[in-house]
Amino acid sequence: MLERPGPTGGPARTGGIGLFILRRILQGLLVLVLVSIVVFAATQALPGDPARAILGRGATPASLAALREQLHLNQPVVQQYLTWATGLLHGDAGRSFAAQEPVSKLLGDRIVNTAFLLICSGLISIPLSILIGSYAALWRDRPFDVVTSLVTLVFAALPEFVVGVALVVLFATTVFHFLPAITLIPPGGRPWEQPIAIILPTLTLVLAVTPYVVRIMRASMVEVLESDYVEMARLKGLPERLVLRRRALPNALGPTFQVIAINLAYLAGGVIVVEYIFNYAGIGGALRDAVSNRDLPVVQAIAMIIAGLYVVLNLLADIATILVTPRLRTRL
């Protein structure tokens, strides 16, 4: 550890990181407030009247008026926003127009299901892509690297729904028949109770994210391996294993964390497509349903959840980047 540049340890640095995190959290909260305004404004601008959408062909003037009253659609927009935002702060996302149930009840299980799918995909794809990317860089221009490069390029170019449908055809319906084609989670059940049924959706998401991370990891590793300090470490006679693990990997991970964060956040959106293919009972299906029903409270709640996820993942990526990058850490 002698070569590490800059000061190490000390209370000043800890305070620096603490302050930095606090600042980022406050920024994140500000972003969420702005997002809540945008989400609310956007859902107000959605064409169509929720009351009419709910009543459909049975909308009579009397029933419309009664329903508008019940849904508080007659209040001024600003007041509607404040009621909604205050409710959110108290953990109350309102009542679904279509289901006539609290949004929290409607989404509770679905959030758990989607989160589980995202966590499984993340836990598999992150280590896997770091490993593949590192080895591809290490064995640059050798067969492993060439094949990896080609395969990741293909999967990066394929949209999730193509990959998902292909996996279903391959493993569930047409070629082989050993995996379930869709994920049926009974209401009140949990996805981990039937791990076999989440293999295909997880695999689809892993295949959607891994290629990007592999490519950025490889590029960043290649750059690091050519750097002076790696050269120096090697010249000093440090074993290659230590050079890679102690010198190259931490430095290559910095930029990769950012890409991982963006990709995981992207997953929160991509999961909608995957849930659709596999009939997976998550927030994606609920969002699609809510949009078609003009179910504004549900749309708003899901938009806020996804925005929150973006903020949290970016915050985590920034913190992780700083922790593996002494150069940045010391500047705080």
Partner 1 sequence: MADTPIERLGDLTATTLTRRRLLINAGVIAGGVMLAGPLAACGTTSTSTGGSPKRGGNFRLGVTGGGSGDIIDGQKIVTKPDQARLVAGFETLLEYDTNYKLQTTGLAESVTQDAPDKWTIKLKSGITFHNGKTLGADDVIYSLQRISDPKQGLFGTAGLASVDPNNITKVDDRTVRLNLKQADSTIGDQLGQYYNGIVPVGYTRAGEQIGTGAYKVQSFTKGQQSVHVRNTNYWRSGLPYFDTVTVIDFPDVAAQVNALLSGQIDAMTDIPAAQISVVRGHSNLAILEGQGADWRPLCMAIDMPPFDDNNVRQAFRLMVDRNAMLQQVFSGHGRIANDLYSPFDPAFDSSLPQRHQDIAQAKSLLHKAGKDNLVVDLHTTDGAAGMVDSANIFASQAKAAGVTVNVHNDPNYYGDLYLKLAFSVDFWGTRNFLPQVANGSIPTAPYNECHWPPKDSNYLSLYQQALAEPNAGKRADLIHQMQKLEYDQGGYIIPMFNNLVDAYSTKVGGLNNGSKATLNLDSFGHGYRSIYFTA
- Residues near partner 1 (CB under 8 A) are 47-49, 52-59, 63, 96, 98-99, 101, 106, 165, 168, 172-174, 177, 179-182, 184, 186-188, 276-279, 281, 285-286, 288-290, 292-293, 295, 298
Sign of the CA dihedral 298, 38, 313, 26?
A: negative
- Shortest separation between residue 317's beta carbon and partner 1, angstroms: 32
- Shortest separation between residue 185's beta carbon and partner 1, angstroms: 8
Residue the block writes with tokens 């929720």: 50
Q: Which is nearer to partner 1, 91 or 186 (CB)?
A: 186
Distance separating alpha carbons of residues 252 and 261, to the nearest angstrom: 15
Q: Among 181, 206, 185, 203, which residue's Cα sits nearest to residue 194?
A: 185
Q: Which is nearer to partner 1, 10 or 48 (CB)?
A: 48
Q: Which is nearer to partner 1, 60 or 78 (CB)?
A: 60
- Shortest separation between residue 271's beta carbon and partner 1, angstroms: 14
- Helix, strand or coil for residue 246? helix
Alpha helices in the chain (DSSP H): 11-45, 50-55, 61-70, 77-89, 103-138, 143-157, 160-168, 199-225, 228-235, 240-242, 249-278, 283-292, 296-324, 326-331
**Which residues have CB under 8 Å from 118's CB, separation 6+?**
205, 264, 267, 268, 271
- Shortest separation between residue 273's beta carbon and partner 1, angstroms: 10
Q: Which is nearer to partner 1, 54 or 136 (CB)?
A: 54
Distance separating alpha carbons of residues 205 and 167, to the nearest angstrom: 11
- Shortest separation between residue 263's beta carbon and partner 1, angstroms: 25
Q: Which is nearer to partner 1, 135 or 278 (CB)?
A: 278
> C-alpha 162: how far from its chain's center?
20
- Say if CB 159 and CB 272 are below 8 A apart: no
Residue the block writes with tokens 């221009």: 141
Q: Which is nearer to partner 1, 27 or 279 (CB)?
A: 279
> C-alpha 227: how far from its chain's center?
32
Q: Which is nearer to partner 1, 70 or 174 (CB)?
A: 174
Q: Would you tell me how many other CB atoms lie within 10 Å of the CB of residue 289? A: 16
Distance separating alpha carbons of residues 80 and 76, to the nearest angstrom: 6
Q: Which is nearer to partner 1, 167 or 243 (CB)?
A: 167
Cα separations (Å) of 138 from 135, 201, 242?
Answer: 5, 31, 14
- Shortest separation between residue 256's beta carbon and partner 1, angstroms: 34
- Shortest separation between residue 9's beta carbon and partner 1, angstroms: 54
- Shortest separation between residue 94's beta carbon and partner 1, angstroms: 14
